[in-house]
Structure 1
Amino acid sequence: MQTFSTNARRTLLLSALVVSGALGASAAEVRVGVSTRDTYVGMPVVVQVQVSNASDVEPPVVPRVDGVEVRAAGAPARNTQITTINGRMTKSTSLTYAYELTPQRAGAFRVPPISVVADGTRLETRPIEFVASKSETGDLLFVEVAGKENQIYVGQALDLTLKIWVRPFRDSDRGVTLSAGDMWRTISPRSGWGAFEDRMRELDSNRERPEGREVLRKDRDGVEHSYYLYEVDATIYPKSPGQIDAQDVRVIVEYPTSLGAARDPFASIFGDMPMPGGFGGAFGGDDFPSPFGRRLAVEAARPIVAEAVVEPIEVRAIPTAGRPSDYRGAVGRYHIVTEARPASVKAGDPIELLIGVAGTGPMELVQAPPLAELAGLTADFKVPSEPLAGFVQGDRKVFSTTIRPRREGVAQVPAIPFTFFDPQQGEFVTVRSEPIPIHVDPADTLALDAIVGSGAGAGASGAEGTPAALAPLLDNFAGEDLLRSEAPYQPGAGVLTLLLAAPPLAAGAFWVRRNRARVSRLMERLGVGAHRAQARIQAAQTPGEVCTVLRACLARRLRLNPELQDAAAVVGALRASGQHKLAVRCERVFYAARQADAGGVTPRASLDDVKREALAVLAQFQQRRERPQATPRRAARAASVLALAAVIAGGAASASAAPTGGTPLHTAQQSQAVLSEATRLYQNAMGLSGDDSAEAKQAFAHAAEKYQLLVDAGVENSRLYVNLANAYLQSGQPGASIANYTRALRIHPTNRVAQLNLRHATQSLGPAGAEAPTPGGGGLASAAAAAGGWLWGHAGPRGLVAAAVAGWLAFWLVIGLRLHGLRYAWKTIATAAAVVAIASAGLYASNRGGADSLTAVVTAPAAALREGDGDHFPVAGVALSEGQRVEVAKQRGGWLKVRSRSGQTGWVELRSVEVI
């Protein structure tokens, strides 16, 4: 028992060691490494922090060290290592963070432990120590920054020149002096360029370098030496007063100390021929154009660092005394120009104002004049208060905004001032643009003395000279039912089919009832009564009765008198119709019947034989009669059934195709809130219409945006469309208003408000808004179209369908009374009823077909109708006017192929029209 316990303890101890070893192998680890412990001022030391076996790592935080600049050296590197030993695979991952620590002064530095959080555990590295010494450049490197001005103002352009003198390295043993190009390549990419950074990047991207020229310069002892001088130009705009410094300009040169033969694997093949890369020529310099000579390379170098020395340049602050209120920081010399379009508008309509500023200063920093603070402009125009954004074109910056004249009669856009500080004169200067003459007409909708609302009386009057019956009704509809989608009227297929089919069926039934004998004979002629003749033959008691039934049946079928007693006439009629064999067989039946009645044979046997032979004759006659007529009669019946099915299916299809309206995307509460806000904005705008046209039109535009939100959410309601169109009309967008009035009339063609306002919106565009006549139209066709349009607008689809049904019922009522025997002028009345029914049905079908076609309305002031069928449509055709309606043929990207009412076809931009 004790032995067992000892073994158990050993097993448990071994298992614990294995588990602890596994846990220790999988625990997160952090290590730190440094590239060097001895560096120079300005030369960075690379520190790497490696985190192993951790799935979740927070980026390390390097402590701040006085005199050391810390910068992350790119994204962390991830490394995965898989090791297999004795068939056992081990996987380890590591994440390495790199940082550049650049000493700013000479001395010894100590970086405290770096903290890392890995898998929720905080780990720390060991501290890092390194020493930085000042690089003794001696007379090898000089850096200066020179300016063309000794004194400038804040924001004034200052041209600076970076000058770098590098003493060329000379290998006295080989008698080789490095060229200007070779010495430029010794400049380290870790150099800091400050204000010259953009220029250096441009040179690098173009694979260029500053031109290096050899000059003589005195060293610190006053002895002249040969140097390569590199010059880089840049322009800066000081942002604060004080002295110009260049502390961020630091040039690092890996200055060669010895040269040696280049390790070129192709040297044995090409000998002294220079190879790409490294130094060209004898050394790769610019002064050795010969392609021959052994290649050399730098074997050893030492870094030298030089800080830029700046000539004293004072930056003065912009004076505050006498500073105009519209000054926005421009320094230099500028001039301003303006442009306004269009030059002729109505009160409250938008005018695009373009402002161009050109000058000598940094154009990207130029701000637009504060238009909202210019009393001369805001007195006559509504001006946006937000700052204007502009774009730079060369030495000019262009700003664009929209202004609206507040009232009619405004004659010009006043001169726009622009104030800047002229550093040469040392004072503020204000320049002005030239005034722009414009013409502002009264706002036609807003100039109405009394606006007739939807519930106003008929005696009110609108604009001067405009009767109330023709004035627009601009009071918007209200109520929650505006948010309920509507669909255009479509007659019910079942009810319509019943109304159309019942009258002719009733008239036919009445005629059959009054002419039963004639119908019976007709049916027998068509073979419908053959079974009755067969039954009578079977029930006959004597051969004579059989003969009588057969003779009467054949007489009716041959269109003879059924009361005919002469059997020879029936047989003769059969022969005359070409049925000779049947005539002989029928004659035998008649003969056998006469013999049986005379007692020549056994009565019972003769009666059965006569019946059987008579039935055979009747069957043979019926077969010959039905063979040529069966197919047409069945085809006629099938066609009738199919036609009725087609009518029913067509009515059902039209009913199912009727739009049912969209479902709003907003919730009911959101939709109601948007509708209330739109109503409030519209009513406020109505209150402003008499005082300030610009403010009113802006408010109407905001109301239109709210109504448009509801329409875009899927609400299709005729009165909501009218509200939206009214807001567009009064905000100076007649094209958009015409589109929405048209949408309202598609749902309810008898909407009186939409009709009046659509006419007013079209007339407000002048001759350009009038629809072009259809080619070939005029005279009777034009009058008929006008009459049809009037009936459609006043009777509507319901009225036309009711008129068509009433005319149809009246037509068959007249026919029924005539069939009953009543004598009167039935033809005239029936013709009039038929004309009413056909005309109403045709007018409904034509207008409903036109309403279902895809059309668009031009909403831009002018839209170019382009020709061709390419992707870019480069050839311009005629121009479409705002409010003009066009038929849409197809769409391609942002273009629509359309056809105008005058027959012109072409492509127009989708943004210039609104598809209905």
Structure 2
Amino acid sequence: MTRFNDFWFRVLAHGLIALCLGEGVCAAEQLSAQAQVDRDQLFLGESFTLQIQVSGSDSPTIPDLSGLADFTARYAGGQKSNSSQTTIINGQVSHSVSLGFVMVYQLTPKRAGTLVIPPIDTVANQQTLKTKPIRIQVRTPAETPDFKVRQSLSRTECFVGEPITLTIIWYIGKNVGNYSFHMPLLDRKEFGFADPELRQSPGEKPVRIPTSGGEGIGLQGTGELDGAGYTTVTFRKVLIPRQPGEFQVDPVNVVFDAVTGYRRMRSPFGGVFPNSAFGSQEPVFEKVVVPSNPLKLKVAALPETGQPPDFGGNIGEYRIEVSATPTEVNIGDPITVTIALSGPEYLNEVELPPLDRQPTLSRDFKIPREMAPGRIEGNQKLFTQTIRATHAEVKEIPPIELSCFNPKSGRYEIAKSQPVPLAVRATRVVTAADAEGLQPGQAGSELEAWSKGIAHNYEDKGALRHFPYGPTTWFQSTLWLSLFGIPPLIYFGTLVTASTLRRRHADPLSVRARRAYPSFITQLRTIRKHARTDTASICSQLLDAVRTYIGAKLRVPAVSLTYADVEPMLSGAGADVKTMASLKRLFEHCEAGSYAGGGADAGTPADLVERAHKLVHTLEHTLK
């Protein structure tokens, strides 16, 4: 009997005994809700965990905390916490069942001071439960000589709807790990936000930037500030003001773990071996929060005077270049027109007005209403459209126009392209002779009489041969065997393939989870080949491989995973404390090795690779 069946056999037996003896009726558990945090003192910009434990029900409603005034909240998931117990004392059987549900949130304070998480309502079994308020002490961070943050705007004065670029540079003087950017500006309703094109210079490499609102992509490089050299992480965001006014751009706080020293790791045989294969130095991390400088932004309203009727909200000094191919056509032939817009730094949101609304163009050309979406190439946004000339008098593609507002001159303007010369020929009438391929005056050949007549093709009976035909001859022919045998093989092969694909598409995440460990081993082989090269690159690749594995096993996106994200999920899946501690150190060491131009000094890159291999091997047994 299996362990599973044995368990349910015991439960059934105890239930029968309880029914026979009339004992062990479980009482209804009292409903309650409690809230607790993992810490109540932190710096502005740090995040903390809020847990709401509901007792007496395993299906409560999930509270929406997006309306908290002083905190940004993100729901990290929840799970049931049910338990049952059966006891037999002196022949008396009692059976009790406890129902519960735990909800986990990640909260980030919006300001410094003494903040209060208000009572939170949740509904269970048609009853409204309230948690008690919790006080949180939030301190103001300060910069240090080793770590500084600077933010700047491409323009400090702009108009409503004009995109401007916010640039944040984090200057790093020591090894760091486990970082995130807290940007209060992203919660402002007065602005829209977008991600600019990533323009990478030589010597820079892309890095993930965890933020309080999600994740972005930045660039790691080097730079100077006040005469000192630093490793830099640069992050940009496009701001689009939605209303006029003067705005204070709050400081950006970067939260990270800084290496403050190193401690020797003990060998498995006891004692400390700093110079042997068993001993190595492990970094000691301290939580640090560094603020940036504040900024001011003045936003003016667009003038109403002189606004063109077809103005679409485009702000900037625009230039339009138009090319066409071919330029020598017949009436009705397709002409592909390419329109290149340039000028403003940010062009992603710019759209070209429909060309059929431009009278000078629609007068001489047939223009479809649909247009392919634009694409960014370098400093331009390109649009393509197919048009057709409607008569032979067309000599050019007239200028393409775009209404815009020039913030430098403070006036509405119309950007125009140069005309494109065309040569349009009148369409020639196609005759029956053209269709037959005959030249004028050319006639078909006359029929000739065959002197021998139709009997010329006759042969006598002696030319006839007997060819046997029937089922016995079919299997002696390769062709007939193929005709009979191949269709069933194709059918069964198609059936097996379709069945396999259906299973995969029914649960593709399950397939990804099964392949996670072999994929990790393949990545590890590649990393091992370069384990003696660039330490920063090895740490970055190794952390990506571990994230990809954990994301596949937990069925969550891997690109945004941090240790804080995976810790509650892995613990809930059965990972023990020792494994989680090893995983946290691996995250810290790899992230520390990816920054400040050096490694985390937690052993050689080969040591990190082996530690990751053992850790993932342990997780593979836990997560099966």
**Number of matched residues?**
405
Q: 1:479 corresponds to which residue?
A: none
- Do the aligned residues in 2 keep the contact of 1:32 with 1:48 (CA within 8 Å)? yes
Distance 1:249 1:89 in 2: 55
Distance 2:75 2:401 in 1: 49
Structure 2 letter corresponding to 1:113 = I
- Do the aligned residues in 1 keep the contact of 2:253 with 2:289 (CA within 8 Å)? no
Structure 1 letter corresponding to 2:63 = P
- Match 2:337 to one of 340, 353, 357: 353
- Match 1:49 to one of 48, 52, 55: 52
Answering whether residue 121 of structure 2 is matched by residue 114 of structure 1, we say: yes
Partner-residue secondary structure (3-state), 1:72: strand
Equivalent residues in 2 for 1:468-617, closer than 5 Å: none
Q: 1:211 corresponds to which residue?
A: 222
- Do the aligned residues in 2 keep the contact of 1:405 with 1:440 (CA within 8 Å)? no
Query: Cα 1:108–1:380, aligned 2, differ >3 Å: closer, same or farther?
Result: closer
- Do the aligned residues in 2 keep the contact of 1:351 with 1:402 (CA within 8 Å)? yes
Flag the structure with more relative contact order, 1 or 2, with Cα contacts below 8 A and sequence separation at least 6. 2
Query: Cα 1:269–1:42, aligned 2, differ >3 Å: closer, same or farther?
Result: same
Partner-residue secondary structure (3-state), 1:363: coil
- Give the RMSD, CA atoms, in angstroms: 5.2
| CA offsets 1:510-552 (integer angstroms, 9 cap, x no match) | xxxxxxxxxxxxxxxxxxxxxxxxxxxxxxxxxxxxxxxxxxx
- 5+ long unaligned stretches in structure 1: 1-10, 167-179, 217-225, 277-292, 445-759, 773-777, 785-831, 839-916
- Do the aligned residues in 1 keep the contact of 2:79 with 2:101 (CA within 8 Å)? yes
Distance 1:134 1:354 in 2: 56
Distance 2:271 2:62 in 1: 51
Q: 1:181 corresponds to which residue?
A: 174
Distance 2:265 2:240 in 1: 50
Distance 2:167 2:64 in 1: 39
- Do the aligned residues in 2 keep the contact of 1:28 with 1:54 (CA within 8 Å)? yes
| CA offsets 1:657-714 (integer angstroms, 9 cap, x no match) | xxxxxxxxxxxxxxxxxxxxxxxxxxxxxxxxxxxxxxxxxxxxxxxxxxxxxxxxxx
- Match 1:76 to one of 78, 100, 103: 78
Equivalent residues in 2 for 1:159-308, closer than 5 Å: 160-164=166-170, 180-182=173-175, 185=176, 188-189=179-180, 191-192=182-183, 202-204=206-208, 209-211=220-222, 213=224, 215=226, 230=232, 232=234, 234=236, 236=238, 238-240=240-242, 241-243=244-246, 245-247=248-250, 249-254=252-257, 259=261, 261-265=263-267, 271-272=273-274, 295=281, 297-298=283-284, 301=286, 303-304=288-289, 306=291, 308=293
TM-score (norm 2): 0.51
Q: 1:37 corresponds to which residue?
A: 40
Q: 1:661 corresponds to which residue?
A: none
Partner-residue secondary structure (3-state), 1:271: coil
Equivalent residues in 2 for 1:580-729, closer than 5 Å: none
- Do the aligned residues in 2 keep the contact of 1:354 with 1:399 (CA within 8 Å)? yes
- Do the aligned residues in 2 keep the contact of 1:187 with 1:251 (CA within 8 Å)? no
Query: Cα 1:197–1:110, aligned 2, differ >3 Å: closer, same or farther?
Result: same
Answering whether residue 385 of structure 2 is matched by residue 401 of structure 1, we say: yes
1:112 Cα deviation after fit: 1.0
Q: 2:105 corresponds to which residue?
A: 99
Partner-residue secondary structure (3-state), 1:392: strand
- Do the aligned residues in 1 keep the contact of 2:160 with 2:240 (CA within 8 Å)? yes
Distance 1:163 1:394 in 2: 23
- Do the aligned residues in 1 keep the contact of 2:169 with 2:232 (CA within 8 Å)? yes
| CA offsets 1:428-484 (integer angstroms, 9 cap, x no match) | 25222323314253696xxxxxxxxxxxxxxxxxxxxxxxxxxxxxxxxxxxxxxxx
- Match 1:132 to one of 125, 129, 137: 137
Answering whether residue 150 of structure 2 is matched by residue 144 of structure 1, we say: yes
1:53 Cα deviation after fit: 7.4
User: Which structure shows the bigger proportion of residues in helix conformation?
Assistant: 1
Query: Cα 1:379–1:417, aligned 2, differ >3 Å: closer, same or farther?
Result: same
Partner-residue secondary structure (3-state), 1:203: strand
Query: Cα 1:430–1:145, aligned 2, differ >3 Å: closer, same or farther?
Result: same
Q: 2:25 corresponds to which residue?
A: 19
Structure 1 letter corresponding to 2:102 = T
Q: Could you say which structure has the larger radius of gyration?
A: 1
Partner-residue secondary structure (3-state), 1:76: strand
- Do the aligned residues in 1 keep the contact of 2:330 with 2:425 (CA within 8 Å)? yes
- Do the aligned residues in 2 keep the contact of 1:344 with 1:438 (CA within 8 Å)? yes
- 5+ long unaligned stretches in structure 2: 1-16, 187-192, 199-203, 210-216, 439-443, 459-624
- Do the aligned residues in 1 keep the contact of 2:403 with 2:415 (CA within 8 Å)? yes
1:337 Cα deviation after fit: 1.0
User: Which structure shows the bigger proportion of residues in strand conformation?
Assistant: 2
1:367 Cα deviation after fit: 2.0
1:109 Cα deviation after fit: 0.9
Partner-residue secondary structure (3-state), 1:132: strand
Distance 1:308 1:255 in 2: 21
- Do the aligned residues in 2 keep the contact of 1:383 with 1:402 (CA within 8 Å)? yes
Distance 1:207 1:190 in 2: 11
Partner-residue secondary structure (3-state), 2:50: strand
1:124 Cα deviation after fit: 1.6
Answering whether residue 417 of structure 2 is matched by residue 432 of structure 1, we say: yes
Structure 1 letter corresponding to 2:151 = V
Distance 2:415 2:218 in 1: 45
